Amino acid sequence: MSGGPHTPTTIGHLPDELLSRIWVAAATKQTDGASSIDLRLVGPLSRLIPGQRQRWLHGKLRLLTRVGPLVQHLRVVDDSVAQGMVEPLLRAAPCTLRSLSLQTRWGPHLSQLPAFLALENGCCASLARFELSAQERAGSFDPAAHPLALPGPTAGRLEAQLLADLIASVAGLAGSLVELKLSLKCVELPSLAPLAALRRLRRLEVAGVSCRVEQPAPVPAQFPCLEEYDLRGIVRMQVAGAAIRQASWVAEPLCTLRLYCPDPAALPALLAALRPPAAGPLERLCIDYIHLAGDASPAVAAVHACVQHLDCVRELSIHDSTTVPPLLEPLLRQLPRLETLQLTNCKLTALPVGPYLSGLHTLSLAGNSWTELPPAVLLAPRLQYLSLQGSRGLCPSEAVLRQLLHALPELQRLDLSDTSIGKGVAEALQAAAAARGGLTVELPEFQEAEDPWRLDNTAGYGSSDSDSSDDGCPRYSWAGCAYASRW
């Protein structure tokens, strides 16, 4: 079937009444009691006239009333500006919900959301997953229209109170919630400390905007069952007394910690506080933008104190950190199992020598200030991938590259693109790679220099074509010009 010449019909396009009958009939045939519905309600476009939106809403409310006990996963998507549809849909939601996802605009139409999430309401007593995503704002918090208006309230106070109530009501779901996602990039978040009450939480994602220096964030180590988290967009977030802008932990395929703009002197405290208790040991560490100001001694001492947190790290990535060179040698010394090392856009001119080189399989030194091949690279005999891409000051000789290929017998890919390697050296390297076999080389694109005296007669014009001055000089062919012999 098709709902039009270009839109195929799915079960979600069926009329609400027919859809509810199908679901109810299917549920009556289930004998194991395992029947459930994953219901996704996408509100009509906000530009539609109010009557059309209201008819859509009434149809969905009837649908929820009829099949409510079967719905365990509810997702509501609404971009309404004038009148939100989230609140009436939540009031009609069943008590059997296990998952609730709201993608809407932030505004006063969500003022009843904290009350809905409260445990005494009963609708969310078994809620295991909750998501609220609001990327844009809709409407303003008018004090006169607020049902709980206080003497002299302001729009800012009302909005801050709603946010605080929302965080508190989410924290009240501690008995059932295992996954939480709050993506409120259009508002300033309040304190997230109450979320530490969610002792059963396994996954946590919070994204928002805050300019408060004292902004406290839940420390991942406080959640006994936490496996993964993502805290981002929270400017100058405080974790274990240290300031950081972003932190995330991914459990698969490797236990990965990502840090953005950490204080190097606070690295031991961050590594201890940001590891989830239910996660395995740290295997991959990614750091963006390390800023080291003034004396490097405290930061170097802090790196030495990280040994107990880094003994299982197999991959290290540091990007856009131009002040990291003083920390590299003590940091790499803590990584006896290192297999992958990425140091990109760090303005490096030297690579430390150490035992870590013996186990390296992948080494990316792209976008740095190399003028010659780092000698330490020759001490990594198991290297399979080497990238010096984007190092425009690098112009290795043919002898150095021959030495490189001899020192790295397992090398399978060499990236020298966007460097200053000469054309002749590049051709010799390609020939050596072809003779060796199993080695792919990426090189800059060399353009053929154009000969200004070369006859270009591709347009099909002959020497007899002359200009309008009738001087005997052809318009398109220099070779046939009467004055060419003078040059």
Residue 131's domain is classified under what CATH number? 3.80.10
pLDDT at residue 322, as a whole number? 87
Say how many domains are in the chain: 3
Backbone angles phi, psi at 174, to 5 degrees: -60, -25
Please indicate, yes or no, whether residues 197 and 237 belong to a single structural domain of this protein. Answer: no
pLDDT of 6 over the 50 cut: no
Q: Do 24 and 98 belong to one domain?
A: yes
Residue 117 pLDDT? 85
Are 334 and 356 within one domain? Answer: no
Same-domain pairing of 117 and 259: no
Strands 413-415 and 385-387: parallel
Reply yes or no on whether the pLDDT at 330 is more than 90: yes
CATH number for the domain spanning 401: value is 3.80.10.10
pLDDT over 70 (residue 52): yes
List Cβ neighbours of 479 (8 Å cut-off, separation of 6 or more): 455, 463
Distance separating alpha carbons of residues 225 and 88, to the nearest angstrom: 34
pLDDT at residue number 426? 95
pLDDT at 286 over 90: yes
Residue 113 lies in a domain: yes
Instruction: Assess whether pLDDT exceeds 80 at residue 60.
Output: no
Residues 321 and 363 in one domain: no
Q: What percent of the chain has pLDDT over 90?
A: 43
d(CA 197, CA 275): 18
Domain check: are 366 and 314 in the same one?
no
Q: Quick check: 234 pLDDT over 90? A: no
434 found inside a domain: yes
Radius of gyration of the chain (CA): 32
Q: pLDDT class for 159, splitting at 50, 70, 90? A: confident
The least confident of 9-18, 86-95, 294-303 is 9-18
Indicate whether 169 and 288 sit together in one domain.
no
Residue with the larger pLDDT of the pair 133 and 52:
133
| Mean pLDDT taken over the chain | 79
Last residue of a domain, one of 314, 338, 362: 338
- Choosing from 288, 303, 338, the residue where a domain stops is 338
pLDDT (average), residues 288-316: 91
pLDDT at 69 over 80: no
Per the structure block, which two tokens stand in for 455? 């006859």
Residue 256 lies in a domain: yes
Residues 215-223, mean pLDDT to the nearest whole number:
76
* Cβ pair 357, 376 in contact under 8 A: yes
Is the predicted pLDDT of residue 232 greater than 90, yes or no?
A: no
Domain containing 73: what range?
Answer: 10-141+157-209
Domain annotation covers residue 63: yes
Based on the fold, state whether residues 48 and 191 are members of the same structural domain.
yes
Assigned domain for 129 exists? yes
User: What is the per-residue pLDDT across 264-281, written as a single tens digit (0 to 9) for each?
Assistant: 999 999 999 899 999 999
Burial annotation 37-75 (CB, 10 A radius, 16+ → b, else e): bebebebbeeeeeeeebeebbeebbebbebbbebbbbbe
Show which of 285, 305, 338 is a domain's final residue: 338
Same domain assignment for residues 198 and 136: yes
| Joined tokens for residue 430 | 């390609």
Is residue 458 included in any domain, yes or no? no
Long-range Cβ pairs for the range 181-184 (8 Å, 24+): 181/130, 181/131, 181/132, 181/133, 181/205, 181/206, 182/131, 182/132, 182/206, 182/207, 182/208, 183/131, 183/132, 183/133, 183/134, 183/135, 183/207, 183/208, 184/106, 184/132, 184/133, 184/134, 184/208, 184/209
Over range 116-121, report the average pLDDT: 68
Among 73-77, 282-286, 294-298, the minimum mean pLDDT is found in 73-77
Nearest CA-CA partner of 74 in 22, 37, 110: 37
Task: Looking at the structure, tell me whether residues 292 and 249 fall in a common domain.
Answer: yes
Instruction: Note whether 435 and 315 are same-domain residues.
Output: no
Residue 23 counted as domain residue: yes
pTM over 0.75: yes
Query: How many Cβ atoms from other residues are within 10 Å of residue 8's Cβ?
Result: 9
Same domain for 272 and 357, yes or no, is no
Is pLDDT above 70 for 99?
Answer: yes
pLDDT for res 481: 44
Say if 462 falls within a structural domain: no
